[in-house]
Every structure is written in C-alpha cells, then in structure tokens.
Structure 1
Amino acid sequence: MKAILTSLLTVLFISVSTAGLSEITVTYISGKSSIDMLGNGKWQETTLDMELKEDSIIKTEREAVFEIDIDGEQIAVGENTTIKISEIRANLKEKKKMGFLSNMQSILSKKIKEGDDQTQSTLAGVRGAMEDEGELTWVDDLEDFEEEEAPETLFNEGKELYMEGKYSQAFTIFKDSIEDERLTYLQEEIAFYLGSTMFTRLQYKGSLPYLEMSINDNKAYYYEHALMTLSFARFFVKDYQNAIVSFNAYLDDFNDGGFVPHALLMLGKSHKALGENNKARGYFSDIENKYKDSEVYNNAVNEMIGL
C-alpha cells in the first residue's frame, strides 16, 4: 500500500511539474537559423513547428528571422543573434511586470500615426505647390514607361504593417529600407521604426543602435516615442546609467507630458538597481505625492517597500 501511495505521489508530482511548463514552438522561419536543443553544443537546423526546450539556444545568421510562440506570445528573433530561451523568458517576465508598458506603447503608437499623417499631408502640399510652380515635371506618356515601386512607397507599407502589429513583415521592409541609399534622407525615421519593431519583439540589445540614431531630431513626430522606447531598452539590458540619462531627457523635453510619472518610476527603479536607494526613494515619493491617479502609482508604492 505504501509503495502504491509513493507511486501515485510521484506521478502527481511529475504531472504538476509538467503543467508548469509551457510549449515553446517555432511558428515562422525566414533565412538560415539553427537550434542547440539542450544547450550542449549540438546544433541542428530550425524547422517549422519545432518544439524547443527551456535550455535551448537559438542562433540566426545574416538576414534571417524567425518567431517562436512562448507563453502565448509571438516573439521574433532577428538576424545575427544568439540567445537562450531562458533569456527570452526573463525579458518577457520583466515586460509583464510592467503592465503599464503595453498601454503606454499603444498610446504613443496612436500619436505617431497622427503625426505621420500630418507629415504626409504637408509633404503632399509641398509637392503640389512645386508642381504648380513648374519645379516638378511628370511623365505624361506612360506607354513605354515601366514604373518601379518607389522606395518611399515600400517604407510606407512597412509603417502600415507596423501599425497593424505585423512586426515580422514590417521588420523585413524596414531592414531593407535602412540599407537603401535612395532613402538616406529618411534614415532616422526608418531607424525609429526598425528599432521600435525590434523592441516590441523583445530584441532590446539589437534595438539600441537604431533607437539611438532616431532621437537626433527632437522635432520629429516620433521623437517622444523614440526617446521613451530607447530609455526602456537601456533599462531592460541593465544599462541603468544611460537609462537615467534618457529618462531625464524625457523629463526635460516633455515636463508636462503624459508619461512624466512613468519616467519618474523608471528613474527610481534605475537608481534602485544601482543601489542608490536615497535617490530612488525621492522619485517614488514624487509619484506618491503628485501622481496618485497615475497607472504607475501602485508600482511606486511597491518599489518603496524595503528601501
């Protein structure tokens, strides 16, 4: 009887342990990539619907990208990347701890859509005026003219895909666009969309050079979004000193902006991570005293515990 009970308890323990693990499945492949399934140095080619392990390591080559489904979220892994599943899961966990981040990103995305629409309308007006003045000439006889899709058109298609949440397709277009010599005058804007796309797919380290490039123009319609995204990316890769620099830049440039309490919270968290508890306490206290209705108020209260 004791042996039977022991066996039942063992089976129950295994069942409960297994239930705690989620399936990690490859859902999209483009280009060449490989998997070290058990983290033991034995690499194999990635295949669609392949089920990965917690110890698996992903490696992609140039111009390769693929997606995995982990915890019900589609996560993209970009080119020239080697990353552990455990690292992806840690990034996902950190993101979920900040429930306000998705809402903030959604609001900022709506703002850049409005800003982009205004920019395109202005450009159309300028082109029209130039045409009226005879500064632009158009091909009248199109019978023998093969029209090539303008690079701007492709980039705009990428922006539409980005707004629709189709990040893998958008990523491919943005990557091609930033390497297109005909689009050098749009390089900073393309860098924003490319970096933001990578950030959204938890590719924080890879997003940094593009996001850093995108904040050069503080008058650009996407500047606020770019600055906040860069700040969070720096925080997530544990570059707390530079995260502090860019979150402070947000406060300087948008001192009455809607995300001031968010920047204050992240400044507090960054100083706390550096062991600078007195500075951290000051930022959390500011939120408690001035932003009681903010969605990050409870986060600040919880961060104060133990300080």
Structure 2
Amino acid sequence: MKRIGVLTSGGDAPGMNAAIRAVVRKAIYEGVEVVGILHGYQGLIEGKMEKLDLGSVGDIIQRGGTKLYSARCPEFRTEEGQKKAIEQLKANNIDGLVIIGGDGTYRGSMTLTKNGFPCVGIPGTIDNDIPGTDYTLGFDTALNTVIECIDKIRDTATSHDRTFIIEVMGRDAGDLALWAGLAGGAETIIVPEVEMKIEEVVERLESGTARGKKHSIIVVAEGVMSGQDFALKLKEHANIETRVSVLGHIQRGGSPTGRDRVLASLFGAKAVEVLMAGHGGRAIGIQNHQVVDYDMTEAFEKTEVFDQKMYQLSKELSI
C-alpha cells in the first residue's frame, strides 16, 4: 500500500475534516502517500484529485463541513460510472481508499472493493444510523446544536404559554430526536421507530394543561412527517394552536465537539491501519468504547437497534 485516496460523500457531518486530517497524517507517518478526491464519487469519476501533505490538513480539525467537499452521484450507481471511477484509480496509482459517509457511501465503496480496490469506511452522518458502531461522526455535535436550539425555543414557549413543535433531521432513524428530546426535556418525542398515536399526544398535552403547565415542547423527526403537518394534525384533532421551528441544515454545520474530534482521529488512524494490513470491505466503528473494524456488509444486513428503554424513560420523565 504505497498510495491511498480519501473522499467524503453524502451529507456532510461535523468531524469529517478531523477524520481527513487523521487519515493523511497517520498515512504519512507510515510512509504512505495520500490523494484527496474532491466532491465524492463524482470527483472520482471526473479525476478531481490533489495530493495531500501535512500542511494540507493543518488548521481543519476544528472546522465543520468537509475540506474535500461532497456531492451526490447518481452516475456512480451505473456500471459505466463505476468503470470510469476504476479507470481513474488505476491512472492515479491509488492502491486503496478511505471513504467517509453514510449508508450510500458504504454501498459505493463495496463496489470498488469487489473490483480489486480495497476500501475502508468511516461512519460520518449526524443521524447515527450505521449498524455496527455505537456512534457516528457528527452525531454528538448535531445533538448539542439541537439541544441549544431547544433551550432557546423553550424560553419563548415559556414567555408566551405556547406549544412548540421542533422538526429535526432523521429520515429513517430517530436517535437525534430521542437524545435531543430527552436532554432538552421535551414533553413528546416523535420518531420513525415508534408508531405515533395522535390521541396519546393530545392526552399528554391536555394532562399537562390540567395541572397548570403553560407550555410544551414536541420534537419530531423529519422521517415521520414535517413539523407543519404535525401541527395540522394537532389542530384537527384537538384545536391545539402551535408554533413550528424547522431546524434544517443548521444541524449539520458548526465546529465539531471534542468527542467528535477524538472519535474522528481514532477512526481515521484505524482506517489507515486496516488498509495497510491489506484489508478491504471493512468499516470502522466504536463498540463498547473500543475502536473496531468489521465486515462492511454488516452495515447493510443488520438493523440498527433503537433504544426503546431510553424512549420509555423520556415519556416517564416528561409527565
């Protein structure tokens, strides 16, 4: 393994830059050259690459987003697109790849591994929805961003005696909504993993009002429905007036927390070690506080386990 590439793909997540930095510096420490591939798989197909040295990744550990940029690439899903990517890898003498991203990014890397270019995946997504790792890069930072927003919205909710609905990211996974809702003291948390019963939500709101509660916070994961749609449901079922805040892409940005920076550093170094050992089709993760690598197919075949006990606790503490 003399020359490796690194790319980021899919939605950006805080900690991606810290991971890029770790990959580059660990590889150079081990005597391996590193090439940065710009704009994910699209950049790979188009040959958008640059050699990365120690200085290239200076002063980025604290930056959100990704220095290498990111992009969706429908072309890479085609046989012709994959052929172009492989040709670029051969032309640039790249022996292996570290890819940073989520589920779609992992699936793309498996295609390259099967064609003789070993890839190692680092989980970078704020949704925390990659099976095989307890936490993904960006989750902790996004969580703290959402909590800060909930705290500020609660001040207004208290001042005006209102119910606020806060829509957070989470297309297929409710971890961000659950953790933020529990940490922010939300009265109701709506997630994809648990069937939402509007009658139960209304009952909780009315019960709170009956005991003198002046305001409520409802956290809704976007994968269930939009905050506006949920507001309409409450209006239709119980004539409850609400205000909606959609946090949107603010959740993806910002300087990564210390936890995400450390996790990114550990993941990046481990990915280089796995590649240098000649292994491809592997994913990096953290399990029971230990950094591990595992067969990437587990990320597709296993189902991420939602913490039902934590969800139940959130209901018990918000009575």
TM-score by length of 2: 0.26
Q: Determine which structure has the larger helix proportion and give its number.
A: 1
Q: Determine which structure has the larger strand proportion and give its number.
A: 2
TM-score by length of 1: 0.27
Higher gyration radius (CA): 1
Q: Which structure is richer in relative contact order (CA contacts within 8 A, separation 6 or more)?
A: 2
